[in-house]
């Protein structure tokens, strides 16, 4: 009986969501929502936008919903990190919307592949999280270590290929998904609390620890640990000197020689499998990977650490070749992107969107409480596809949105010495 009641209530919730989405779509279609021009309603149907990005953000459901709501076609194309920068810079015409990571903008913008976005044409610009638009959170300055969003958010002018330090009317991209990463652990195999990044290097976990094999991110996790342990002091770990890189790599090689690392993982699936199989008990991880381990019924905890989180983020940029009706469609799409459906969908993956208030309309009060407010779930929590992933009573690791983002210690980075770093990282691999 109870089971039945629950399923009925879920159907109802789903129906509410669909209705809401439909209503939003109708509102857009009828021109009720200001800022959406409607004069070209006929020819815009022929427009197809190609949204290119990494696998975690180019989700087909988003394209389907956009196509339904907007009346023109949106397609998703998935690349890996290397594929993204290479495609966007060498085959720019094959991309319309470029959904890249913050640090990738450093490579793409000087090469002139994007066109600046006029923020006046972005309806919710003033509602966007200040993490991106002002470089602050809760009135306080957000960490500038690594590629903090504000460092790449604004361009110096309509034709500029360089970034502006202060807000301007020209944006590199509209903010996309972002999150705060930390270490994942197996609480059933580590029977004590983990509070510091330094634990990643603890000899207690010899042969059972892992870090990610993406040099730019792996080095940040290593630096967080080295700094927490007091092993290395960095002037700016987001932009290390050669000497600092040498020291960090030497430390990693030393640990490797002691047999500390079980593996370095390079794909999402690998990190899930390592953790689920018990090969590794502590490692750097991405939030949905933790969820994936847990949905197999294996305990996995995304530990809030006292030194703070390593932040990362994306942005949706418009490609240079867009013009006329296609450019209008692209603006309409990036405005739609902020209007809530996407935010509600991706929240269930553990990611955040720049205008959380709109996402709220597409989540139940219970889901909002769980994902954004750090409250215990009253009902079972489902993933974006409706699969139950947490029982009632569960609380999200790391607590609320505010608790998380007030503790960003650094961001994913691209150092001036990136090439030297890669070379050193290869030395670490072969050591």
What residues line the site for another protein (CB under 8 A)?
81-82, 85-86, 89, 106-107, 110-111, 207, 210, 213, 215, 256, 259, 261-267, 269-270, 273, 277-279, 414, 416, 418-419, 422-427, 429-431
Rounded-to-integer distance, Cα 151 and Cα 181, Å:
20
- How many other CB atoms are there within 10 angstroms of residue 401's CB atom? 19
**Closest C-alpha among 258, 240, 283, 201 to residue 424:** 240
Smallest separation (angstroms) from another protein to the CB of 163: 12
Residue (277 or 388) nearer to another protein, CB: 277
Smallest separation (angstroms) from another protein to the CB of 188: 14
Residue (98 or 377) nearer to another protein, CB: 98
Q: Which residues contact 96 (CB under 8 A, 6 or more apart)?
A: 49, 50, 51, 52, 318, 319, 322, 326, 330
Contact yes or no for 265/274 (Cβ under 8 A): yes
Smallest separation (angstroms) from another protein to the CB of 103: 10
The secondary structure of residue 379, as a DSSP letter, is S
Residue (80 or 357) nearer to another protein, CB: 80
**Closest C-alpha among 357, 359, 333, 319 to residue 172:** 319
Smallest separation (angstroms) from another protein to the CB of 32: 44
Residue (307 or 417) nearer to another protein, CB: 417
Residue (35 or 278) nearer to another protein, CB: 278
Residue (249 or 347) nearer to another protein, CB: 249
Question: At 381, is the secondary structure helix, strand, or coil?
Answer: strand
Smallest separation (angstroms) from another protein to the CB of 247: 17
Which helix (DSSP H) or strand (DSSP E) does residue 229 occupy? helix 215-229
Residue (4 or 419) nearer to another protein, CB: 419
Smallest separation (angstroms) from another protein to the CB of 26: 42
**Closest C-alpha among 194, 195, 177, 174 to residue 186:** 194
Smallest separation (angstroms) from another protein to the CB of 50: 21
Smallest separation (angstroms) from another protein to the CB of 233: 26
Question: At 365, is the secondary structure helix, strand, or coil?
Answer: helix
Residue (84 or 309) nearer to another protein, CB: 84
Contact yes or no for 45/72 (Cβ under 8 A): yes
Which helix (DSSP H) or strand (DSSP E) does residue 99 occupy? strand 97-101
Rounded-to-integer distance, Cα 265 and Cα 57, Å:
20
Secondary structure in 3-state letters for 107-127: HHHHHCCEECEEHHHCCCHHH
Strands 301-303, 97-101: pairing kind: unpaired
């Amino acid at each position: 009986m109870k089971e039945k009641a629950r399923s009925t209530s879920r159907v109802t919730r789903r129906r509410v969501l669909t209705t809401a989405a439909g209503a939003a779509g109708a509102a857009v279609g009828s021109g009720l929502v200001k800022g959406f021009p409607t004069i070209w309603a006929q020819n815009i149907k022929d427009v197809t936008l190609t949204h290119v990005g990494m696998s975690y953000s180019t989700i087909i459901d988003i394209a389907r919903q956009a196509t339904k709501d907007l009346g023109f076609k949106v397609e998703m194309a998935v690349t890996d990190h290397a594929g993204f920068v290479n495609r966007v810079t060498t085959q720019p015409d094959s991309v319309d919307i470029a959904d890249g990571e913050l640090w990738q903008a450093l490579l793409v913008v000087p090469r002139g592949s994007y066109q600046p976005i006029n923020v006046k044409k972005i309806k919710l610009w003033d509602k966007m999280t200040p993490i991106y638009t002002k470089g602050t959170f809760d009135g306080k300055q957000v960490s500038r270590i690594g590629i903090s969003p504000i460092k790449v958010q604004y361009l110096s002018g309509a034709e500029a290929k360089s970034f502006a330090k202060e807000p301007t009317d020209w944006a590199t991209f509209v903010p996309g998904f972002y999150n705060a990463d930390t270490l994942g652990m197996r609480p059933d195999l580590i029977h004590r609390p983990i509070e510091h990044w330094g634990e990643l290097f603890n000899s207690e976990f010899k042969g059972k620890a892992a870090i990610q094999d993406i040099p730019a991110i792996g080095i940040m996790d290593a630096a967080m640990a080295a700094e927490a342990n007091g092993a290395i002091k960095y002037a700016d770990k987001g932009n290390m000197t050669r000497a600092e890189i040498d020291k960090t790599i030497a430390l990693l090689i030393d640990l490797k020689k002691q047999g500390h690392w079980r593996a370095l993982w390079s794909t999402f699936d690998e990190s899930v499998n390592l953790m689920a199989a018990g090969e590794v008990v502590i490692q750097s991880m991405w939030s949905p990977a933790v969820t994936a381990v847990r949905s197999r019924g294996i305990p996995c905890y995304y530990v809030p650490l006292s030194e703070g989180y390593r932040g990362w983020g994306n942005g949706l940029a418009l490609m240079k070749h867009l013009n006329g009706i296609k450019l209008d469609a692209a603006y309409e799409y990036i405005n739609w992107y902020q209007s809530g459906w996407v935010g509600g969908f991706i929240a269930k993956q553990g990611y955040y969107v720049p205008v959380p208030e709109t996402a709220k309309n597409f989540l139940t009060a219970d889901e909002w409480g769980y994902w954004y407010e750090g409250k215990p779930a009253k009902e079972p929590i489902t993933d974006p596809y409706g699969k139950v992933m947490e029982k009632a009573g569960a609380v999200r690791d790391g607590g609320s949105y505010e608790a998380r983002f007030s503790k960003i210690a650094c961001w994913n980075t691209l150092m001036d010495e990136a090439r030297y770093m890669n070379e050193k990282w290869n030395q670490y691999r072969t050591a």
